[in-house]
Chains A and B, each alone.
Chain A
Amino acid sequence: MIIELIGWKSKGLRAPDIEVKLERSDSSVACVTLIQMPNGTGKTTTLNCLRAAMDGSAESWDAEKVKSFGNTDTPPEFGSFIATLRINHSKRIVIEMTFHFVEGVVTYRTTAGSKIEDNYCPPPEVRRYLDPRFSELLFFDGELANDLISGEKETNAGHVIDTFYGLYHLADLKRKALDSFQDHVRQAGPAKGAAQSARLIGRIDRFRSKLAELEEQTATSVEQKKRLEEESRRIDSAIETHLLQSTQFQEAEQIARDRKELAKTRVEKAFHEIDKIFPNPLILHPFLTKSLGELADNLDKLKLPEFTSRAFFDELINEPDCVCDRPMNEAARAAVKRKADLILGDSINGFLNSLKRTVRTCTDYSGNTEFAKAVQELVSADDDLSQSQSALDDIRAQAAAAGDEEISRQRRKLEEIKGRLEIIDAFLEEATRPTRTGDDEQCKCVDFFKKRVKAMDVELARLSGTLDRKHRTDCLISVIDDAYNRSHLVLKGEVISRANEQLAQILKYNPVEIEDIGRCVKLRNRGGASMGQNLSVGYVFLAGLLHGGGNQFPLVVDSPVGALDDIARRNLGQLLPKLVKQMVAFVIPSERQWFADPLAESSGGDVLFLTHLRINEHTKDIIQRLGGRAACTSESGIVLEGKEPFFALGEDVNE
């Protein structure tokens, strides 16, 4: 599926009345379109309208929101926004939004080829890609790419994959199955106890909601913990490096660190030695040697196992004559059977012989202190490790006391991280433990809520006489969950593989690799990448999704380089044209520097520079000075095309 944004037109809105055409005379669209819109030009209005035009979300806007899009100086009765898309390089779809400011509603009209519908009605083949859950991937600000890596905000990288591949439909299906069952329960009427059922339904909903909340919190906490631990290791390493550079503490730090490494090795060796001897019960519990020796001796005295095989007697019972040639009558058979019952089976005899052999050949471990000594060595090594760590901590404390600001700062950070980790550990300990007696609705144990929800569901099904329906619903949900888990795993693997291939080429001098995608995109062996690298990985991840598998979707980005420094801007400018087929980036004048030129160069000149200004007393002179070709002009706004006016616009126009 190839979707291109061809252009848009706005009239009667807060934004100036203009038309922006992204399609060139040869019907192509530029790889990157940079639209420079100083603050107050209607950037937010334009972006919101573009998104609403694509996903139809304005149908559900309330009156206040609709009215906020109107021109406040001269409020008209109507306003319009028209977006034009092109599908698979051929079919055009025009989506018109009419703002009825008096009534406070937005109506749509959709034109697809020759077909016109007086509502939001994109053709079925594109509808999925214009779903609001999907469009949030196409319209974003530069922060999203960073959030995907840092995981610090609400953005969930795993959900991005679900959204792109439509796996959210499975969640919808699951929700429908559960709702259907709940409706069935309500309609079935209780077999007994209407009030009881109603209370139970309320309780189930409450517990289910709490369970979902706790599971989400647990997943977030696990990822936060990993990040904090990596950060802690990184700071520790930074402190070490810093101290090693300080003449005052260098030697002491090195000695203490070497001692700690030796102690660590000693502890590992001690654990390993214990592990080697651990399975042998005679070493763990030396008294057992005497006990087993006595058992073996007594078995010999009792002539156990017998020399005679039990099989001999079992066969004899079925013979017509005994070995002494007397006939085997019933009495004889009964007597032989009684004796045979006292004889152990061949396999048991085999075990006893093996036991006696093992005992006889075992080294005499009585009085053996190997385990106790190995544990003593471990304790000693561990003490040494603790002391060497304390020595290191002392040196750092001394460095901080001596006025080393860097050390003090890093130690404060470490303390803060330690504090946060303690809180997270306490929560995870509570959340991940098995349920126990005394747990109630106030606890944070996931297992408790899972088991209670399951039990209450069964109870409700029993009360409402819907056990069978419940069973079938459970089966369906199990299948859906399995389908989701398998699909997500396979798709995630593909996304990671594709992204890493690109990253290997794009960041070859400073390689970064994606290890996994959970709540955030996890980088392999990186305590933390720079913001520039984060953004690069974020864009590669998004672009890989949106341009993978023969698909193409326009990326519309607000402030793509906002908070980046010059080097990162330059790197991103060089990177983006390699990733995207169509990107429309809204920038303000201060974001041009270090970014726009590398971008143009990297795209081989395939960049459309547009400058959009509101026409007023302040901007009239500026517009005259800028020159360039007016791609569109109206009473309230102008769009200038070309690199010259784009770079000529001063940054002061933003004030």
Chain B
Amino acid sequence: MAFKLHTEARDWFKKISGSEPLNTLFDLYHICLTLGLASKRFESEGDSMDEFMDDFTIRYRPFQSLMIGGMIAAVLARKGISVSDRCSVAQEIGRMVSGDTTRGDLTADGFRELNGYALGGFNYLRENFDAPPQHAVWFLSRYSQLLSETGAPPKI
């Protein structure tokens, strides 16, 4: 149970990572996850993922519940679970959230869902860039544009 990134992610972000705001692997994960949630793009983990952490970093702990909440909203919408179906909603939340604060509040399924959106976000980036980004300014500009183009997230 851990956060995972695509095996090619480190190499893809090579030229623009290692400095603000993409200092750490978790920053890369966050950028991919946010785009994955925004574009409603979920992909199942395959063999092409590398584990890198099993908990949220200190920088992201204040926003941990928001990121997981965003995932819950996306999963409920993706599975077409009705908001009035208390049983299904509770079951789905119980499947993904453990409340174990030493493990990011997530179950193994929860990590799989979150990683799936991060993977979707990374592939979305690759599809919308001709080549791995060479320049951080240009990347952030294009990323900002992609976020605004993807529109509103799923309604639950």
By a beta-carbon cutoff of 8 Å, the part of chain A in contact with chain B is 267, 271-272, 274-275, 278-282, 284-285, 287-288, 290-292, 294-296, 298-299, 301-304, 342-352, 354-355, 358-359, 362, 371-372, 375, 378-379, 382, 433-434, 436
Contacts and interface: CB of A to CB of B under 8 A. Distances in A.
Chain A interface mostly helix, strand, loop or mixed?
helix
A354 B147 contact: no
B20 A272 contact: yes
26 contacts: A271-B20, A274-B140, A279-B62, A280-B66, A284-B30, A285-B34, A287-B153, A292-B70, A292-B73, A304-B89, A343-B90, A345-B99, A347-B100, A348-B93, A352-B93, A355-B66, A355-B68, A358-B65, A358-B66, A371-B147, A378-B140, A378-B141, A382-B137, A434-B10, A434-B11, A436-B8
Contacts of A301: 83-84
B154 A291 contact: yes
Interface string B88-103: 0111011001111000
Interface in B43-74: 59-60, 62-63, 65-70, 72-73
Interface residues of B, number: 53
B141 A375 contact: yes
A438 to B, nearest CB: 14
Nearest to A280: B63
Contact of B73 (A278, A291, A433): A291
A378 B137 contact: yes
Nearest to A380: B137
Nearest to B148: A372
Contact of A279 (B11, B30, B37, B86): B30
A281 B99 contact: no
Contacts of A354: 65
Given A281-B63, A287-B153, A275 B20 contact: yes
Given A347-B100, A354-B65, A287 B141 contact: no
A529 B106 CA distance: 57
Contacts of A278: 21, 27, 30
Contacts of A281: 30, 34, 63, 66-67, 70
A295 B99 contact: no
Interface of B: 7-8, 10-11, 19-21, 23, 27, 30, 34, 37-38, 59-60, 62-63, 65-70, 72-73, 83-84, 86-87, 89-91, 93-94, 97-100, 105, 136-137, 140-141, 143-144, 147-148, 151-156
Contacts of B144: 371-372, 375
A585 B47 CA distance: 64
Q: Which of B62, B72, B137 has the most CB of A within 10 A?
A: B137
Nearest to A287: B152
Contacts of A348: 93-94, 97-99
Contact of B90 (A295, A342, A359): A342
Contacts of B89: 298-299, 302, 304
Given A278-B21, A304-B93, A348-B97, A294 B73 contact: yes
Given A291-B73, A291-B153, 11 more contacts: A271-B19, A284-B34, A285-B34, A291-B156, A292-B66, A294-B156, A345-B94, A348-B94, A352-B97, A355-B69, A436-B8
Given A350-B99, A434-B11, A274 B93 contact: no
